[in-house]
Structure 1
Amino acid sequence: MFKSKSSKLALILFLAMSMLLAACGKGEKASTGGSSKNALEQIKDKGKIVIGVKYDTRLFGLKNPTSGEVEGFDIDISKELAKAILGDEKKVEFKEVTSKTRIPMLNNGDIDAIVATMTISEERKKEVDFSDVYFMAGQSLLVKKGSPIKGLKDLKKGTKVLAVKGSTSAINIREKAPEATVLEYENYTEAFTALKSGQGDALTTDDAILYGMVDQDPKYQLVGGTFTEEPYGIAVKKGNKELVDAINDALKKMKESGKYDEIKNKWIKTN
């Protein structure tokens, strides 16, 4: 009799635990949205694509203080992506990112994609999926005209080189000029302001970004050519193959139609 009661009690406990685990499973599914749709389908359902762009990078992504609108090469590319995916370039929402915040914002679900002068690297491929290369840049040095610094060989002990946190440029310059002191700033605006105020001897990042600084203040110039290849890619959350394919298809059509060259020639100045 005692054994029978014990068996019944064990059975009741087992059933109760099974129901509890099932309920937890449903709750977990609900908390993550419970959607089996992929990222591309979700973007189409909400009728807009949210893209992380920079607000401080002249020629690529810069907030116009007069209009309040963010403008540049990356912005126009993003509008074309929205047009290709959703049929309307206005169906894009821009959110500001920096080199440091862009991947966390993507993986937190704050944005659907990153179009923000982001170099494709093996290390970053562990965290995000990339589109095909949409712009090829190269790292260079920016100095005030008349500076004794003419290239990497002049970055010696005591030389202060400015870079941006979370960028491949900061990593590269430490490898290329190990004796120099590297000072990192939150964004390009802060770094360029620091250079102009004499807090550093040179600023390093991709040449395309540096050209924007020269466009802003012609008292500065690029020196030493490029010493890396920086292929820019559009990043999405890992595993979103459908979205990557849609982006690559849009980029291909942009290039075939001549729209890509039109956007590039509008923004990117190399002299």
Structure 2
Amino acid sequence: MTASITRRRSRRTGMKSKAAVAGAIAVTGALLLTGCGDQRDKTTTTTSAGDTNKAPLFGSLPKDIQSAGVIKVGSDIAYPPVEFKKNGQVVGLDPDLAAALGKVLGVKFEFNNTKFDGLLLGLRSQRYDIAMSAMTDNKSRQEGVDADTGKRVGKGVDFVDYFTAGVSIYTKKGADQGITTWDDLCGKKIVVQRATVSQDLAKAQSKSCEEKGKGKIAIEAYDDDIEAQTRLRAGGADAGSSDFPVAAYAVKTSGGGNDFQLVGEQVEAAPYGIAVPKGNDQLRDALKQALALIIANGEYDKIIAKWGVKEGAVDKAVVNGGK
């Protein structure tokens, strides 16, 4: 979910203490299947807007967005259950939350499908007004710093934090090879989505493995998480890693629950945030107010419960809460 865009997420890059989001974010059986460059396709999906005469926060938005009636969203729409396509429609946690925000703001949220590692570039080029794609709020993104090189690549973004998740490891079912922690991956192969926290963690762990003389980790990175899952399912790797909600969803749904299993605990628990370009304080603050309102009126909790991710819920709207 940086130029090396610590995804969806990043909790990157050094390994921190295990911070399991207790009780695992349960993914319900009702969920259907299982996540950055140029636009992946030209398909857009627009959420419904509230009546501007009744929307309590319409006046808080920048004038250009009031006039357009639309907030353009960059999103990597291949990351179930956070955002994915079902029967040609964009569904998931993020689209539902965006629709709820749109009702109190009185505008539509238009989702544009884009590779994850191109989302921040899309914001810098003003292709999108915001990015909402299970993107982890962290200091490197806030400051516009490439997590790999340490070099500044842009002005950075502000985040309106709306969810919390950790990173998990999963293997083929019945073939965990004794893997329960990241240390157990030394000398093995892992598949991840490119530019994600999982990739950053794997890089950091591989360096640690080499320093301990245990053999580096072979890392295969793919454009989206589904491709990584396909590789693991075919026996092309020893393990995979992604954000816990996504890993748990894959374990629940892939092959009717017979393909994968979660191993060990979550690590690097951190907030997902709606990314807003630096300097657009009015839009950032309007989104924060809107999130606070749907938390207060109960709509937020309904959506969180619908997608079976109650353990990741937040109880207040925060800006730039990531570390």
TM-score range, shorter chain: 0.7 to 0.9
Q: Does 1:189 align with 2:217?
A: no
Q: Does 1:168 align with 2:168?
A: no
1:116 aligns to what?
Answer: 133
* Gapped regions of structure 2 (runs ≥ 5): 1-59, 145-155, 208-215, 312-323
Q: CA deviation at 1:270?
A: 8.2
2:295 aligns to what?
Answer: 255
Between Structure 1 and Structure 2, the one with more helix by share is: 1
Distance 1:233 1:255, change over 3 A: same
TM-score, length of structure 1 as denominator length: 0.79
Q: How many equivalent residue pairs?
A: 228
User: Which of the numbers 72, 89, 99 marks the counterpart of 1:50?
Assistant: 72
Measure, in 2, the Cα distance between the counterparts of 1:216 and 1:72. Answer: 15
User: Which of the numbers 104, 117, 121 marks the counterpart of 1:84?
Assistant: 104
Contact 1:131–1:248, Cα closer than 8 Å, also in 2: no
Contact 2:70–2:109, Cα closer than 8 Å, also in 1: yes
Letter in 1 for 2:182: L
Measure, in 1, the Cα distance between the counterparts of 2:143 and 2:64. Answer: 23
Contact 2:101–2:294, Cα closer than 8 Å, also in 1: no
Q: CA deviation at 1:207?
A: 0.4
Measure, in 2, the Cα distance between the counterparts of 1:268 and 1:240. Answer: 33
TM-score, length of structure 2 as denominator length: 0.67
Contact 1:51–1:92, Cα closer than 8 Å, also in 2: yes
Measure, in 1, the Cα distance between the counterparts of 2:160 and 2:61. Answer: 18
Higher relative contact order (CA 8 A, sep 6+): 2
Mapping for residues 88-167 of structure 1, pairs under 5 Å: 91-127=108-144, 128-146=156-174, 147-148=176-177, 149-157=179-187, 159-167=188-196
CA deviation digits over 1:72-115, x for unaligned, max 9?
A: 00111111222222x25xx2211012321111111111111111
Q: Does 1:63 align with 2:110?
A: no
1:207 aligns to what?
Answer: 244
* Gapped regions of structure 1 (runs ≥ 5): 1-37
Letter in 2 for 1:75: P
Contact 2:198–2:243, Cα closer than 8 Å, also in 1: yes
Identity rate, percent? 30
2:278 aligns to what?
Answer: 238
